[in-house]
Structure 1
Amino acid sequence: MQNRERRTTYAEALDCVFSLAKFGSKLGLERIRRIMASLGNPERQLRFVHVAGTKGKGSVCAFTARILEEAGYTVGLYISPSLVDVGERISVNGTMLSPEDFLDTFGAVWSAIGSVSQDDPVTVFEVFTAMAIVHFARKKVDVVVWEVGLGGLYDATNVIPVPEVAVITNIGLEHTDRLGNTVEEIATQKAGIIKQGGITVLGHQDYPAAQATLLARAETMENQIALAERDYTFSSQRFTPDSVTFDYAGVVLGRQVSLPDVTLSLRGTHQIQNAASAITAVVALAVKDGIDVPETAMRRALGQTFWPGRMELVPGTPTVLLDGAHTQTAAKYLVESLHAHFPGQRFTMLFGVLMDKDMDGIASILAPEVDTIVLTRVPDNGRAASPWELEEKFLRYHPHDSIVVEDDTERAYEKARSLTPDGSWLLVTGSLYLVGAVRKLMGLYTFVRP
């Protein structure tokens, strides 16, 4: 049995939470339900927009939260992983969880956990999920934008009641060891957030089989459905180095919406899909609850949303582009976005990823697009892929003399910088944990909007 005394300092509380990492990541709702019951089920006091998917769910959350904030609502946002500071995971109107609030919510949750058996210990993610619910309930937020951690059906975030709106973004092959070997199996897990009698927004799907699976679940659960390319569309995409512009049109729960010339601050061809899903989710929420979201607030929010580590451009010598492309789907959209925003630009790439990713598939997409590759190990993560194993994959698609292996992240970053010639940029991609580590090395500690 483990002693669950409340710690008195922020550092001790963090150590206490992350000591649970040795037990790994586990799906299932039994533990989080027990914690919530012990706390008096504060999740039942809150209203949620629940977001799942393989690609884009974090960006959809960022857009959705910012739109609602600009409309005057108090919005809780729960995301994972954090890039630099764990407080990033839990924020209210863009202000991340402070050490003081962390200690307060940690104390309540840790007390609720009590003594946990070694046979079924709680996970780090479950603790953070419970802390987020407690914090948002105490702050009496109007809406919580709630990102799934892994899958959906058995993810700890699914402890909530029927959400105001469920959103499912583009689905691809990921976590096949946990979620299934086909897009249909993975889509079934993601569709687990769709509950009886709710509202579901389905984003663009690269795989028709995934869309069919999601639609079937939403129909079985008697949901009102807004489906991309049927009920809402995005067209006339235009790209500059710093922005994306497109036209949105749709009929959402009977309300007709037309937003020509929407400009996004986030780069990426995929961000059009994400912004369209966020617009649709907000309109659905507005129709359902009779809330007011002015078009001016929507446009302002979409043009100002900041989401670090996603096509984030940092000027300097060299210019650095940070993007967490850790699946085949993400790698495909990264390459597409590079050509759309920066045609003709040459890159050196720093890359590291976790071992459960499709390393060969990602290598086949990214390797032909860059001049020199520096491979490293994602720091402070027991699931990090060996850079020498990565080298075996990348050698199939890139010349041997243009690949460098450096196990240490800081040395790898400096090596990549030194190997980036004048006129070229440094692309840092792969795991978001690597992107976060490099942001920290660059002195980009803040998650606060610029």
Structure 2
Amino acid sequence: MAETADHYIKALLDVYPKGVDLSLTRIGRLLSDLGNPHLQLPPVIHIAGTNGKGSAGAFCRALLEAAGLRVHVHTSPHLVHVHERYRIGRLNGGHYVDDAELLEILQHITTVNDQQPITVFEIITAAAFVLFARHPADAVILEVGLGGRFDATNIIPEPAVSLIMPVALDHQAFLGDTVEQIAFEKAGIIKDSTPVVIGFQAYDGARDVLLRQAEKHKAPVAVYGQDFSACVEHGRMAVQSNRGLLDLPRPRLVGDFQLGNAAAAIEAVYAAGFHLDETTIATAMQKVEWPARMQKLHQGHLKTLLPQQTDLWLDGGHNPAAAQVTSAAMRLLCQQQNRKLALVCGMISTKDSNHYLEAFKGLAERVYTVPVHFSEAGVPADLLAQAARGLGFEAQGFDTIAGAFTAINADYATLPAPVVLVSGSLYLAGEVLQQNGTKPV
């Protein structure tokens, strides 16, 4: 018998296919055999999108918890440990699932499945439904794993609201080669007559597809830039909607792009039937947290390897659209502090490394590439450094994150301390948190 849930999941990967096979047939059959736990949940906020899903979920959780509600949260992937995927709602803000309970649920699911065709992601998703059905709560925040239309989470028949965050190119092998095709897959979470909130969309084509699908399903829809919006006014966040104007503190999450994420979450929580006052919303903006999204690491083992006074930032964004918003935030920060940016980057082979790195041209003074050990698809550091040099960067590959940090310490020994950003992969972000001794909360 496996000692931990993590060991058990790793054992499952040796039994069931590792590849992606998007379908609702297997998960539907399994959940039926389990007694349909997905039909026994409190109101569900279902979130899809290429970027911003995690941040939007974090804002939704902060808003509901600030109102004193119990909120279950299922996200993917995890950064350091599988428990991060399952947050059980409590009146004190909730906690990650206990390992013994998760292991017991996983074992029960595989016993019920009885070796029938299934993917490990579907087992992991089914575990969320079983777990959340066991524990009373006021809401569930459910993040799509991949796409939307055939993602295992889309087995939910009637969410309280479908929230679709920015759509961009990513996972083209599974979702399509254009933003319109990808938007169609994301729009698959829209249900008949169920409220839909569409967050900021950089591409008109994507927004048009989402609107057409909402109209097809006769779903009430609220669109960023049309029905609600957010901006900075006098150093604070102003959120305008059909309900009026909210004067709020800027969110705790760093980056102007988070204003749009926050506004979409506020709109989604209202659309789901929860009514919050301005004081509660303001409290949520100040308490929200989401690891590995423009996260500043103030201390830890890796931090000690850098020059004193160095600002160390971590971001799990891994596609060109994410790179654009991350680089914009870092550009502003470097300008404000009059510092240079040193970029530590690691990526996996299914991502567009060239276009990701291009977003940092004219900003990153030097690029230090590292392998991504948490993924079998990690790009070798030397190959990524070669790609960076081909784009005009001064770049060098290293075997470890610690090695890259040690090189930064040497390169800036006689120079002003830089701003260091580690980015390019959620897998890399998880590795940094683990090595630095920073546990996700």
Common fold: TM-score over 0.5? yes
Q: Where does residue 326 of structure 2 map in the other structure?
A: 334
Residues 110-121 of structure 1 aligned to structure 2 (within 5 Å)? 110-116=110-116, 120=117
Q: Where does residue 162 of structure 2 map in the other structure?
A: 166
Separation of aligned partners in 2, 1:392 and 1:86: 33
Residues 210-289 of structure 1 aligned to structure 2 (within 5 Å)? 210-236=206-232, 245-251=236-242, 256-286=243-273
Task: Verify the 8 A CA contact 2:79 2:427 in the aligned structure 1.
Answer: yes
Task: Verify the 8 A CA contact 2:23 2:151 in the aligned structure 1.
Answer: yes
Q: Where does residue 109 of structure 2 map in the other structure?
A: 109
Is the partner of 1:337 in helix, strand or coil? helix
Task: Verify the 8 A CA contact 2:5 2:106 in the aligned structure 1.
Answer: no
Deviation (angstroms), 1:418 = 4.5
Task: Verify the 8 A CA contact 1:69 1:75 in the aligned structure 2.
Answer: yes
Separation of aligned partners in 2, 1:135 and 1:58: 20
Task: Verify the 8 A CA contact 1:372 1:419 in the aligned structure 2.
Answer: no
Deviation (angstroms), 1:367 = 4.0
Which residue identity does 1:273 align to in structure 2?
Answer: G
Q: Where does residue 99 of structure 1 map in the other structure?
A: 99
Deviation (angstroms), 1:149 = 0.7
Task: Verify the 8 A CA contact 1:199 1:225 in the aligned structure 2.
Answer: yes
Q: Where does residue 353 of structure 2 map in the other structure?
A: 359
Deviation (angstroms), 1:327 = 0.7
Q: What fraction of aligned residue pairs are identical, expressed as a percent?
A: 32
Which residue identity does 1:333 align to in structure 2?
Answer: V
Q: Structure 1 length as normaliser, TM-score?
A: 0.89
Cα shift readout 1:209-241 (whole Å, capped 9, x = no counterpart): 0000000000100000011111112123566xx
Cα RMSD over matched residues? 1.9
Q: Where does residue 348 of structure 1 map in the other structure?
A: 342
Is the partner of 1:166 in helix, strand or coil? strand
Which residue identity does 1:278 align to in structure 2?
Answer: A
Task: Verify the 8 A CA contact 1:20 1:124 in the aligned structure 2.
Answer: no
Q: Structure 2 length as normaliser, TM-score?
A: 0.91
**Are 2:314 and 1:322 aligned?**
yes
Is the partner of 2:362 in helix, strand or coil? helix
Q: Where does residue 19 of structure 2 map in the other structure?
A: 24
Unaligned runs of 5+ in 2: none
Q: Where does residue 417 of structure 2 map in the other structure?
A: 423
Residues 42-191 of structure 1 aligned to structure 2 (within 5 Å)? 42-46=37-41, 47-93=43-89, 94-116=94-116, 120=117, 122-191=118-187
Separation of aligned partners in 1, 2:234 and 2:104: 46
Cα shift readout 1:319-358 (whole Å, capped 9, x = no counterpart): 3100112111110001111133442331211101111111
User: Measured at CA, do residues 176 and 420 of structure 1 come closer, stay the same or move farther in structure 2, by a change above 3 Å?
Assistant: farther
- Please list every run of at least 4 consecutive aligned residues from structure 1 whose deviation after the TM superposition is greater than 6 angstroms: none
Separation of aligned partners in 2, 1:11 and 1:398: 42
- Tell me whether 24-33 or 130-139 shows the greater mean CA deviation: 24-33
Separation of aligned partners in 1, 2:340 and 2:352: 25
Deviation (angstroms), 1:11 = 5.4
Deviation (angstroms), 1:361 = 0.7
Separation of aligned partners in 2, 1:73 and 1:153: 29
Task: Verify the 8 A CA contact 2:374 2:431 in the aligned structure 1.
Answer: no
How many positions carry a matched residue from both structures? 423
Separation of aligned partners in 2, 1:26 and 1:391: 33
Which of residues 341, 344, 364 in structure 2 aligns to 1:370? 364
Which residue identity does 1:249 align to in structure 2?
Answer: Q
Which of residues 193, 196, 201 in structure 2 aligns to 1:200? 196
Separation of aligned partners in 2, 1:225 and 1:70: 25
Which residue identity does 2:238 align to in structure 1?
Answer: D
User: Measured at CA, do residues 393 and 66 of structure 1 come closer, stay the same or move farther in structure 2, by a change above 3 Å?
Assistant: same
Which residue identity does 1:329 align to in structure 2?
Answer: A
**Are 2:380 and 1:389 aligned?**
no
User: Measured at CA, do residues 441 and 405 of structure 1 come closer, stay the same or move farther in structure 2, by a change above 3 Å?
Assistant: same
